[in-house]
Structure 1
Amino acid sequence: MNLATWLHQTGLVRPSAPAIRFGETLCADYRQFAFRSWAVGQHLKDRYGIRRGDRVALFAKNCVEYLEMLYGVLWIGAIIVPINNKLHPREAAWIIENSDAKLVITETGEIYTSPTDLDTQCLEVGIRAAEFQTFAKAAPVADYAAPTEMADDDVAWLFYTSGTTGRPKGVMATHKNLRMMATSYALDVDTVSSADHSLYAAPMSHGAGLYNFQFVRAGACHVIPESKGFDAAEIQHLADRLGNLVFFAAPTMIMRLVKYAEQTGDRGDGIRTIVYGGGPMYAADINKALATFGPKFAHIYGQGESPMTITAMRRDLVADTRHPNAERRRASTGIAQSCVEVRVVDEFLTDKPVGEVGEVIVRGDTVMKGYWKNAKATSETIVDGWLRTGDLGAMDADGFLTLTDRSKDVIISGGTNIYPREVEEAILTNDKVFEVSVIGCPHPEWGEEVVAFVVFNEGQECGTNELDDWCKSQIASFKKPKRYVFVPELPKNSYGKVLKTSLRERLAVSEEGL
């Protein structure tokens, strides 16, 4: 089944329901949303020759037209290639060429100004090009038709991973993968209602955009903030005006909301649910967020290879204080979502005992079809149907998974494994610390040593000795950092993930300068 069928059906059943807002302004009801998406698809076929299975790249900021373009591509059975709008055009060009895209839809239609920027076989058009508007207005309503039929295994979404360890790989997510992801949301993450306002404050090229499908099916309203990104004051204003605001946010975004609340006294009235994921949420941070906003938080853990669907905790579990293991559960990523099986294993894929750290592996209907044009990487990542995530974690007796780190981020010092997240958690309990990221640095005697990059809260700071004493009071002495680097901010990607690769590069440069 084609995922665009959900929009087609909602357009028929709830034609006058508000569908897309730009800020508070209503831009389309569901009849208009569906018709425009169909018209985009027909124009792509008629003008650009896009056919079933062709790739169409979408390289633009969050905007009203984003959803119409996405569904227009899916409507005709083509494959959408969403690209992070903050990438350099040359980085985007690599993805476009690797995916063999026949067309790229960009912000202005004028991103690629020289022949060396982009494969000449790929055409470019602006997301607001007059041709789309003209075609939608001129297209006969009588010609409107249901989406192209698709098989479950047909690729819908070709998502390129961040590429922190090399060139990004194209994850092939099928119509079934995404349908199961959206269906599981209501079972495992949060309820979905036609009264919801689904806000896109994080990039629609990533998880926030993937979370459109369940809200389309329910006939909820999609809200694009006028800033086209994350602004705490704007979010609170929209929550006050619209109500029932639901959105996906990285942990760093939540801490910015908390900081805004502390400054203004706002407590998130009008916000129904914030689903967080995409990076580690430390215990001190989620406890502070709950104290500030109350039980509005649900948690998910997933990867592009199993989009948004490995484990989850609904709001009641995140906010629970009555269970004997409530604090430990809240620090976990939750339990396996209903569409997958999750295990923690050793290097031979043998289950580790309860409580022991191993690699997290996943099997289920949301696991990707494979990597685009990369059979070797696919065979290394999917083994006997199990997705090897590369993440390390431990499972408790009740099935709650707690992540320690990415396998590549584990620090081995003196032959002992040290998990950066454990050290980060300890440092963050210090009230003077705002953010921290811990990495390993090569050491001639110990193999690696622990280095912490620390950002202090505004107007506060402390010295190395004080942090050393603090760490000794929280964790084993051998785990504490051997060095602290005090910085004004941590380098992050557009989704709020700390770029540890950048920190390692910075450390390497400083070592060379000694």
Structure 2
Amino acid sequence: MNTFAFLEKAARQRPDAPALVQGDEVVSYREFHDRALAVGGNLLALGLGAGDRVAFCLANSPRIMEVIYGCFAAGLIVVPVNARLHAREIAYIVGNSGARVLIHGAEYQDGIIENETLFEGVTRFCTEPAAGANPLDDLYDPARALTAGVEAKPEDLCWLFYTSGTTGKPKGAMWNHRMVRCVIMNYLADLHNIQPGEMVLHCAPMSHGSGIIALPTVARGAVNAIMDSASFDVDALLATVERLKVSHIAFMAPTQIVKMLEEYVPGRHDISSLKAICYGGAPIYVDQLRKAVETFGSIFVQLYGQGESPITITGMSARLHQELLDAGDARIGSAGQIRTDVEAHCVDADDNPLPPGEVGEVVARGDVVMPGYWANPEATAEALRGGWLHTGDVGYFDERGFLFLLDRAKDMVISGGNNVYPREVEEVIILHPRVANCVVFGIPDEYWGEAVHAVVVPKPGETLTAREIIDFCGEYMAGYKKPKAVDFVAELPVSGYGKILRREVRDRYWEGHASRIGGGAGAKVVQG
């Protein structure tokens, strides 16, 4: 079954109903269906064939959904790129995936031109007239539109989700049609049962978690409403909830929930239509969660997953949130229970299953787990050894199957719901001509959960400022990856093999904190 069939069915059943909404733009299901077929047909007319990759880097808009479903319809593999990445980072993903086409917003044009050698051989389409790029409107020419979606087998790839690895180089988690279908059905079954016509609002990047939740929205013939503000604006969000009678906010990082609590003005907007807010991707303090439930009602839904098993390993429904809070149950500090059609447990260093209460690495399996990483058999073998996805997260399951996350086997930092790997930041800092050495890690931060922090060793006789290091990083990478603070030292501790002892340095900043993932001393945290 081709995932495009979900859109095809929705367009047949609800042709004139709104499918995609942003500001004053309303795209009906008939129009969405026809535009996706046009995108698919025009991509094939370029000479692309089944299994070819098409990358996009776009700010949130209906165009994202049209491109995704256009690729599904044509049997192509879509490669969403985080819209916050630097042009060089975009180029790496385009090159690694072998994407023949890049669809991008006009805001990326200058960066692409500055690094144009990295994009050689790639056909580009831009949302506005731009040198070296075709107009995006060319992909909507109805003369070359497909008449229907192509046939697809369950194991055919349809999506490459790029997620960083321990080396800092992004890896493409391969998703096939069976996997995407299972993610869709699991979300509807376990987290929020979206209904036809329901208004689902997106205020987080649709290249990631929010865009994944857009898929079950389409499957149910509901409305994907998209915020048109460039940054997260609480008043604009709640005004949109009131205007559109939004019932479900697709995905929020905990930092957005905290900001919403800080800026919420009771009575300013009628948000009584709101029935569910899905959150994940980073820690949230239990006290903050409790206050959110008290303020907005029992509407919060938690998910835990990763790109290799998108949004689907464990979860906690709105009902379960309320039950645990009412009972004063410590399980509110967990990452929820194993999802319906997923298997998961913890293993020791030799991959032996551990009983409830014993700490080890979280592993999972099921049709929601990727078949592997794109063009990376070594990483695939490591991540999927023994037939289980090794998440790199350390924790334990209790006797009722609630997952408590304690640490990360890998060094990834989750800051405001964004994944940052220290190695990729270090590789940039070390390029600075006055830097001798450095180490990067996450430190506790009440707002961000974790903040990216750098400890730098200047070269002998050189002096540096934190601002110089932060600005230098900004020339090479997305803003959210830059250190939020920098300390300077004369030397870093190293092992007998000369390896920097990252944890020894990092642990000094975590003294008095309950876990390595976030939270103040003695505080419970919820992992998303």
1: CA distance, partners of 2:274 / 2:293: 13
1: CA distance, partners of 2:294 / 2:138: 51
2: CA distance, partners of 1:128 / 1:116: 18
Residue equivalent to 2:284: 281
2: CA distance, partners of 1:43 / 1:198: 29
| Amino acid corresponding to residue 304 of structure 2 in structure 1 | Y
Q: Deviation of residue 8 (structure 1)?
A: 1.2
Q: Deviation of residue 139 (structure 1)?
A: 3.1
Q: Equivalent residues in 2 for 1:243-282 (5 A)? A: 243=245, 244-261=247-264, 268-282=271-285
Q: Is the 8 A contact 1:181 1:366 kept in 2?
A: yes
2: CA distance, partners of 1:241 / 1:217: 24
1: CA distance, partners of 2:406 / 2:295: 26
1: CA distance, partners of 2:212 / 2:296: 25
Q: Is the 8 A contact 2:239 2:269 kept in 1?
A: no
Helix, strand or coil: the match of 1:246?
Answer: strand
Q: Equivalent residues in 2 for 1:472-483 (5 A)? A: none
Equivalent of 1:225 in 227, 234, 239:
227
Equivalent of 2:71 in 68, 73, 87:
73
For 1:65-117, what per-residue CA distance to the aligned partner results, in whole angstroms no more than 9, with x for missing partners? 11111111111000000000110001100110111010000102835225644
Residue equivalent to 1:405: 407
| Amino acid corresponding to residue 27 of structure 1 in structure 2 | V
For 1:367-403, what per-residue CA distance to the aligned partner results, in whole angstroms no more than 9, with x for missing partners? 1010111100100110121000010111111111111
Q: Deviation of residue 322 (structure 1)?
A: 7.1
1: CA distance, partners of 2:308 / 2:446: 32
Whether 1:292 and 2:283 are equivalent positions in the alignment is no
2: CA distance, partners of 1:84 / 1:173: 17
2: CA distance, partners of 1:397 / 1:455: 31
Helix, strand or coil: the match of 2:363?
Answer: strand
For 1:441-481, what per-residue CA distance to the aligned partner results, in whole angstroms no more than 9, with x for missing partners? xxxxxxx9x99555599xxxxxxxxxxxxxxxxxxxxxxxx
Q: Deviation of residue 54 (structure 1)?
A: 0.3
Q: Which moved more, 1:124-133 or 1:64-73?
A: 124-133
Residue equivalent to 1:380: 382
Whether 1:301 and 2:304 are equivalent positions in the alignment is yes
Percent of residue pairs bearing the same amino acid type: 35
Q: Is the 8 A contact 2:54 2:71 kept in 1?
A: yes
2: CA distance, partners of 1:122 / 1:287: 49
Residue equivalent to 1:33: 32
Q: Deviation of residue 133 (structure 1)?
A: 3.8
Please, which runs of 5 or more residues in structure 2 have no aligned partner? 415-421, 423-438, 449-472, 493-528
Q: Equivalent residues in 2 for 1:169-188 (5 A)? A: 169-188=171-190
1: CA distance, partners of 2:396 / 2:373: 27
| Amino acid corresponding to residue 29 of structure 1 in structure 2 | S
Q: What is the TM-score when the length of structure 2 is the normalising length?
A: 0.76
Residue equivalent to 2:519: none
For 1:34-53, what per-residue CA distance to the aligned partner results, in whole angstroms no more than 9, with x for missing partners? 0011011111111x222110
Residue equivalent to 2:151: 149
Q: Deviation of residue 128 (structure 1)?
A: 5.7
Helix, strand or coil: the match of 1:371?
Answer: coil
Q: Deviation of residue 280 (structure 1)?
A: 1.4
For 1:130-189, what per-residue CA distance to the aligned partner results, in whole angstroms no more than 9, with x for missing partners? 85546646438xx75221111111111101113564211111011111110010011111
Q: Is the 8 A contact 1:279 1:497 kept in 2?
A: no
Q: Deviation of residue 319 (structure 1)?
A: 1.6
Helix, strand or coil: the match of 1:118?
Answer: helix
Structure of higher RCO (CA pairs closer than 8 Å, 6+ residues apart):
2
- Provide the alpha-carbon RMSD of the alignment: 3.3
Residue equivalent to 1:212: 214
2: CA distance, partners of 1:302 / 1:343: 14
Q: Is the 8 A contact 1:63 1:228 kept in 2?
A: no
Residue equivalent to 1:312: 315
Q: Is the 8 A contact 1:200 1:229 kept in 2?
A: no
Distance 1:77 1:183, change over 3 A: same
Residue equivalent to 1:119: 119
Q: Is the 8 A contact 2:102 2:125 kept in 1?
A: yes
Residue equivalent to 1:370: 372
| Amino acid corresponding to residue 84 of structure 1 in structure 2 | N
Q: Is the 8 A contact 1:201 1:228 kept in 2?
A: no
For 1:338-382, what per-residue CA distance to the aligned partner results, in whole angstroms no more than 9, with x for missing partners? 121010111112222322221100010011010111100100110
Q: Is the 8 A contact 1:258 1:289 kept in 2?
A: yes
Q: Deviation of residue 118 (structure 1)?
A: 2.2
Q: Equivalent residues in 2 for 1:334-349 (5 A)? A: 334-349=336-351
Q: Deviation of residue 285 (structure 1)?
A: 1.8
Q: Is the 8 A contact 2:99 2:122 kept in 1?
A: yes
Whether 1:43 and 2:47 are equivalent positions in the alignment is no
Q: Which moved more, 1:32-41 or 1:105-114?
A: 105-114
Helix, strand or coil: the match of 1:271?
Answer: coil
Q: Which moved more, 1:110-119 or 1:371-380?
A: 110-119
Whether 1:83 and 2:87 are equivalent positions in the alignment is no
Distance 1:128 1:272, change over 3 A: farther
Q: Deviation of residue 267 (structure 1)?
A: 7.8
Please, which runs of 5 or more residues in structure 1 have no aligned partner? 411-419, 422-438, 440-447, 458-490
Whether 1:354 and 2:353 are equivalent positions in the alignment is no
Q: What is the TM-score when the length of structure 1 is the normalising length?
A: 0.78
Whether 1:8 and 2:8 are equivalent positions in the alignment is yes
| Amino acid corresponding to residue 3 of structure 2 in structure 1 | L
Helix, strand or coil: the match of 1:66?
Answer: helix
Helix, strand or coil: the match of 1:159?
Answer: strand
Distance 1:261 1:115, change over 3 A: closer
Q: Equivalent residues in 2 for 1:406-421 (5 A)? A: 406-409=408-411
Q: Deviation of residue 21 (structure 1)?
A: 0.8
Distance 1:136 1:167, change over 3 A: closer
Helix, strand or coil: the match of 1:367?
Answer: coil
Q: Is the 8 A contact 2:258 2:447 kept in 1?
A: no
Q: Equivalent residues in 2 for 1:121-136 (5 A)? A: 121-127=121-127, 133=137, 136=140
Whether 1:159 and 2:172 are equivalent positions in the alignment is no
Helix, strand or coil: the match of 2:113?
Answer: coil
Distance 1:255 1:409, change over 3 A: same
Q: Is the 8 A contact 2:102 2:122 kept in 1?
A: yes
Q: Is the 8 A contact 1:61 1:85 kept in 2?
A: yes
Q: Is the 8 A contact 2:166 2:410 kept in 1?
A: no
Q: Equivalent residues in 2 for 1:192-203 (5 A)? A: 192-203=194-205
Residue equivalent to 1:21: 21
2: CA distance, partners of 1:186 / 1:138: 33
